[in-house]
Structure 1
Amino acid sequence: MLKRSEFEPAFWLRNPHAQTVFASKLRPQPPLAVERERIELDDGDFLDLSWLPERGLDDDAPIVIVLHGLNGSLESKYARGLLREVYAHGARGVLMHFRGAAEPNRLPRSYHSGETGDFGTVVDHIRRRYPRAPLAGAGYSLGGNVLLKYLGERGGDAPLTCATAVSVPYDLKRCAEAIQQGLARIYQAHLINGLKASFEAKFSLIDPPEPWPDLSRVRDFPSFDNVVTAPLNGFADAEDYYARASSGPFLADIRVPTLILHAEDDPFMAPDIIPAERDLSSSTRFELSRHGGHVGFVAGGRYGEPVYWLETRIPAFLREALPGFERADSPDAARQAG
């Protein structure tokens, strides 16, 4: 189901770049206390999880698994903001750091937009620990692509009760083209530089594969994905990676209640990647807004105070779709997460 979103931007943040930059850079860092866990993988690598503090919840309390975006982590403000809401609703919350995101991983490979195996490992790990707890996934940007692709791959066998995804690159090829245009090139340069720094840090600790490219010459996503993402992760080239890792072709196979939030003015993407009604399953509610930027969605409150709308809309959906997800009695409950 494709619906027009109720989101209205703050009047001083109607520009998509203002939405994007304000939410990611100018918003104060939401305080958050976490407990860390490391999962050792069969291939010799590891995944890091950041859990909300354990506070005597029942074993059947709902759990929300948060998936960050490209170059994201627990430091991502959207992730911390949502986890604080999860805490306030009396649920368990955990952020999954993709392989190599929190700190350099042990193997040459790293995460990418289509890597659903590691997420499946985390879901299975949590399911074994809390077999009676209903699970929800919340993915942002790259993490949203991973989540939607995973749900489509699993279909009716997906072990999640519900899911939500924000600002997803459903067509990776078109997104790689769109981010090379106009002001979007600033975002591309920022993201590429972050990826370069990540791989440089890792390959200062382990030997890089041979031959390893000169990354100083790589300045756009097709080039990066051709020489890094594809060969490290078993794809023939960037085209093969984009075709096999994009979540768009999997949307029709999603069988659990799923909310997708997207802005028409997302500067990371081309408008023509937005799915049509026929591309969506009957289990999916796609809410499209005219404004919002990329993981922005900043509305205006009283006296010009910003309101981070995603942290209102996503919990409202979870209250409907995730059993046991209910706002705590204390209005100050979220403060205790920090």
Structure 2
Amino acid sequence: MNYEAPAWLCGGHAQTIWPALFARSTFGPAPRYRRERWDAPDGDFVDVDFLQGGEAGPPRPLLVLFHGLEGSSRSHYALGFADVARERGWDFAVPHFRGCSGEINRAPRAYHSGDHEEIAWLLVRLVQRQRAPDGTRAPLWAVGVSLGGNALLRWAGEWGAAAAASVDAVAAICAPLDLAAGGQAIGRGFNRQVYTRMFLRTMVPKALAKLAQYPGLFDRAALLAARDLHGFDDVFTAPLHGFRDADDYWRRASAKPLLPQVRVPALALNARNDPFVPAASLPRPGQVGRHVTLWQPDHGGHVGFAQGAWPGHVRGLPDTVAQWLVAQSAHG
């Protein structure tokens, strides 16, 4: 596997921002989705978007995508993977983390980078859809992007060999596998002024809406005083999901320490010039088990990997990941 950035797109920031805003996500028409609302085990709900189209009949291979922080089925990378699935004749699903589907969720919680319990029940339910009357199931591959990638690999590490009952292979794209390193990086300099502000612009209103649902859930003044993700996670994300504080959350939710426990084929793809994920924090071959493949190209930015002539496209990444996932099933 190899990736070279176009000559006209230089540097990690450009390779992050341009693909998300301007590069082409699909080669075909914009994907259309059909939404299902699933009741969660805790009485909340999760909205799952399924790619429309496909012929009725036996279950087809299913590609599941877990989106990144404040992402959705409309994120540029989700559209790219949807296009690849449609081209290959696969089904495609994007489960939205709580509060990311356009409607506030019911429970006094949101979502977080180590939410492997959420991944678990969603995959179990998706597997049930894949089973034919004779008990066999069509292939199921799971991809996680950024936050979703860390949560997915966290799940794979927690479940070990049992994960094979749900997936044939998994891939994590630009996941901050060391959350403390990623959190510190995004809280400094240009990152703080651009990316942190972008995330807080949607995260803070969602948190305040949650406070209106559950008065007294957290300190409103402390939340409004937060100027980076550490401050936000300290007030909101960590205590709502059972962590002592942001540092405890970042330590316990990181997938990197669990990579030796992964027992299904897993791809961990990280560009070494990712502004969110310092290259020094990336796992080395001796820090993962034999089931984990590390791909760490020098360029690509954060979930960028644009290709082609200006203005470029982002279809190369999902195509490459899809080929890798299929190859793992063939080897199995």
1:251-299 CA-to-partner distances (Å, cap 9, x unmatched) read 1111111122111110012221110111111111111111111001112
Alpha-carbon distance in structure 2 between the residues aligned to 1:148 and 1:230: 20
Aligned partner letter, 2:34: E
Aligned partner letter, 2:13: H
Q: Name 2:184's counterpart in structure 1.
A: 177
Alpha-carbon distance in structure 1 between the residues aligned to 2:125 and 2:275: 36
Report whether the alignment pairs 1:285 with 2:290: no
Confirm or deny: 8 A CA contact 2:218 2:236 kept in the other structure. no
Q: Name 1:7's counterpart in structure 2.
A: 3
Shift of 1:175: 1.0
Report whether the alignment pairs 1:25 with 2:24: no
Report whether the alignment pairs 1:155 with 2:160: yes
What CA RMSD, in Å, does the superposition of the two structures yield over aligned residues? 1.6
Alpha-carbon distance in structure 1 between the residues aligned to 2:127 and 2:215: 35
Aligned partner letter, 1:118: E
Identity across the alignment (%): 35
Confirm or deny: 8 A CA contact 2:38 2:46 kept in the other structure. yes
Shift of 1:209: 3.5
Alpha-carbon distance in structure 2 between the residues aligned to 1:28 and 1:157: 38
Q: Name 1:75's counterpart in structure 2.
A: 74
1:135-185 CA-to-partner distances (Å, cap 9, x unmatched) read 110110000001111011111110210011110101111111111222111
What secondary structure sits across from 1:48 in the alignment? strand
Aligned partner letter, 1:170: L
Alpha-carbon distance in structure 1 between the residues aligned to 2:130 and 2:322: 21
- Which of 243, 254, 260 is matched with 1:246 structurally? 254
What secondary structure sits across from 1:229 in the alignment? helix
Confirm or deny: 8 A CA contact 1:74 1:80 kept in the other structure. yes
What secondary structure sits across from 2:8 in the alignment? helix
Q: Name 2:134's counterpart in structure 1.
A: none
What secondary structure sits across from 1:226 in the alignment? helix
Confirm or deny: 8 A CA contact 2:62 2:138 kept in the other structure. yes
Alpha-carbon distance in structure 1 between the residues aligned to 2:215 and 2:138: 41
Q: Cα–Cα, structure 1 residues 225 and 305, in superposed 2: closer, same or farther, change >3 Å?
A: closer
The number of residues matched between the two structures is 316
Alpha-carbon distance in structure 2 between the residues aligned to 1:227 and 1:207: 15
Between 183-192 and 88-97, the greater mean CA deviation after superposition? 183-192
Q: Cα–Cα, structure 1 residues 279 and 57, in superposed 2: closer, same or farther, change >3 Å?
A: farther
- Unaligned segments of structure 2, at least 5 residues: 132-136
What secondary structure sits across from 2:307 in the alignment? strand
Higher-RCO chain (CA-CA 8 Å, sequence separation at least 6): 1
- 1:134-213, aligned counterparts within 5 Å? 134-158=139-163, 159-185=166-192, 186-204=194-212, 206-213=213-220
TM-score (structure 2 length as normaliser): 0.91
Report whether the alignment pairs 1:266 with 2:271: no
Q: Name 1:93's counterpart in structure 2.
A: 92
Alpha-carbon distance in structure 2 between the residues aligned to 1:24 and 1:208: 36
Shift of 1:201: 3.5
Alpha-carbon distance in structure 2 between the residues aligned to 1:273 and 1:87: 35
